[in-house]
Amino acid sequence: MKIQFIAVVFIIIMIPIITVTALYIRSEIDTITLQSKYNTKLSVATYDSVIAFQINTVNNRYSSVSDSKIRDIDAAVNTFFNSLGNSEALTRKSLQDYVPALVYTLYDGYYICSKYDNVYPENNGKPILDENELKSNDPNYGLKTYIYYSCRYIKGNSDFIVNYTLDNAINIYGKINGNYKTLSGYLINPDSVTDITYGKAPLSWKLKYNGIVIEKEILSEHIAFSDETSGDYEYLEHNGQKIYYDGVNNNYFYYNNYNKTYLINATLQEYLRARTSGGHLYSTSAFEFYYNAKKFSEKVSTLIGNISQDDAVDSQNHQINDFAVDTGTNPIFKASRSNDPLLSGSTFNENRMAAIRKSIETNLTAAIANYNLFSSNTYEFRMPKLSEIDWGKITNNVSVMTFLQGIPIGHKYYNNYCVITNNNNEEVVKKENIYIVTRDSNGNREYHLAGCPHLMQTNLPSENITIVGAYANTSFIRQTVRISEGDYRYFYPQNLGNDKNITSCYYCIVNAANTYDIDQVITGKIIGKDSNWQDEQITDDRVRNLNTIRAVYLKALARERYDLYQSNVDAFNN
């Protein structure tokens, strides 16, 4: 009887516990399921937004960036909300209550897309800042003012701002040694540029960069037209636009709306004639990059070579002590062999990334915090902690950051973010995004990463393979030509000389993780492991083509960055 009594008591006690536990487990499963669902939806929507921006920028590569950048980002924002709301049949307006911010990082700054209110309600002519009034004022949701990657420095009688970029270009403006200065350019180690030949004839310009001869070069692309014709044309870039040489008519044209627009500007014609010889049009952009960068870097070193991270201040003139990386008193802008801005581990590059991160963190935290003023949601929006890996992506790439918060999922709220980078765009030329082009004896062309181990060790003469040049990765993306409504043609700019598509290298493009580090290609020192797994420089046949690859790579990187359209360059260098 006692055992039966105990059993009954046990059942009476345990049934509620088991029931509650089962309900809790079911709730947790439902919560995890919903969380996984929203994670997937957020990632897909962010990816769709990146692809929309990529397609718009690449297919508008022959138009002015300033005319299309905001439009392209607006289209990417719309794509994000359309993708996020598709499966749930939710409108953009309803989704905006859970998306406190979207961030689009570009070459020299970023846009934050969030709620904002340009007009405050008034009482007797004075603005009312009451939170309830703000919430009822129907704020806008869209792109805020463009924010540059800027950092302010004060030392002695110098007080100036540096606008950083995703590469080694900087803009400087403010009071330097008591005088107002504005200047802009690419920062390199000026001692790397030697043996300069410079005069009135552009085709004679020549210099050496780290022992590599940099001079004029012929660039070619395949383009197709709306009349269903196509051809290979030599080109150069001028003021952000490609200009092609029509050898048959001995004239020059822009590629606009799938047609040729021949030049009539006499000054521009003179510029092009000075770079045309023997029926060929030559680009001098690589030379001009290193030549101008040397002069700029020497000037910067003289003016602000003593500036360090310790001189950085905030808007209240207080020293900034919370950068992600502390470089202390190391000079930032005095470029040298030990501080080469082209290399990832340089003091300049560490400060560039730290300044970009600090700017985004500060403004994004404020945007998300201010979102609570406009939100009727009881959830408190706040800036999440981003991983170091994600910050590495953001500070080195055109990217999209999306935030989704405040959606009830079981007994808690959903709160997550997503970062996806966009490497195929007309905004920035990354060091890793220069492809080396080879051609075999049959005219077949293949493109490789600069650190391709297969290309590095291939016996090119015995394989009848020639390295013919190098271009940015966007030159290998399929382009579209509209013939008529619903009728389109496609072409690849680097599909030259035959009807076969240029192909990617299996060993590096498909398996990019197996490539040599790009900084090692730049310095000409490939590091491997010896028999004891210690680092050692590789000097055998595994890197037999290093010098050839390095030569075309350094020329292409300089040319592509010099030709990169920068909307604010002309406003500087005074």
Q: Is residue 264 part of a domain?
A: yes
Q: Is residue 117 part of a domain?
A: no
Same domain? 157 vs 258: no
Give the C-alpha distances (Å, rounded to integers) separating 99 from 28, 92, 295.
24, 10, 46
Local confidence band at 62 (pLDDT 50, 70, 90 cut-offs): very low
pTM for the model stands at 0.88
Same domain? 247 vs 150: no
* Boundary residue ending a domain (384, 417, 436): 384
Q: Is residue 476 part of a domain?
A: yes
Local confidence band at 564 (pLDDT 50, 70, 90 cut-offs): confident
Tokens of 395: 């500070």
Lowest mean pLDDT among 129-143, 181-195, 372-386, 460-474: 129-143
State which H helix or E strand residue 21 sits in: helix 2-59
Tokens of 368: 């998300």
Sign of CA dihedral 84, 88, 93, 95: negative
Local confidence band at 109 (pLDDT 50, 70, 90 cut-offs): very high
Question: What's the pLDDT score for residue 64?
Answer: 42
Question: What's the pLDDT score for residue 257?
Answer: 87
Same domain? 447 vs 553: yes
Question: What's the pLDDT score for residue 121?
Answer: 52
Q: How far is residue 433's CA from residue 283's CA, in Å, rounded to a whole number?
A: 20
The helix/strand/coil state of 138 is coil
Same domain? 253 vs 205: no
Same domain? 179 vs 197: yes
Q: Evaluate whether 330 touches 297 at the Cβ level (below 8 Å).
A: no
Same domain? 455 vs 480: yes
Encode pLDDT of 22-34 as tens digits: 666 666 666 677 7
Q: Is residue 105 part of a domain?
A: no
Q: Flag whether pLDDT at 2 surpasses 80.
A: no
Same domain? 191 vs 293: yes
Question: What's the pLDDT score for residue 128?
Answer: 52
Local confidence band at 572 (pLDDT 50, 70, 90 cut-offs): very low
Encode pLDDT of 243-264 as tens digits: 999 999 999 999 998 899 999 9
Q: How far is CA 277 from the centre of its chain?
A: 36
Q: Average per-residue pLDDT in the chain?
A: 88
Same domain? 92 vs 2: yes
Question: What's the pLDDT score for residue 219?
Answer: 97
- Say how many CA atoms lie within 13 Å of 487 toward its Cβ: 7
Per the structure, the complete domain to which residue 303 belongs is given by 146-216+285-384
Lowest mean pLDDT among 50-59, 323-332, 563-572: 563-572
Q: Is residue 39 part of a domain?
A: yes
Same domain? 19 vs 33: yes
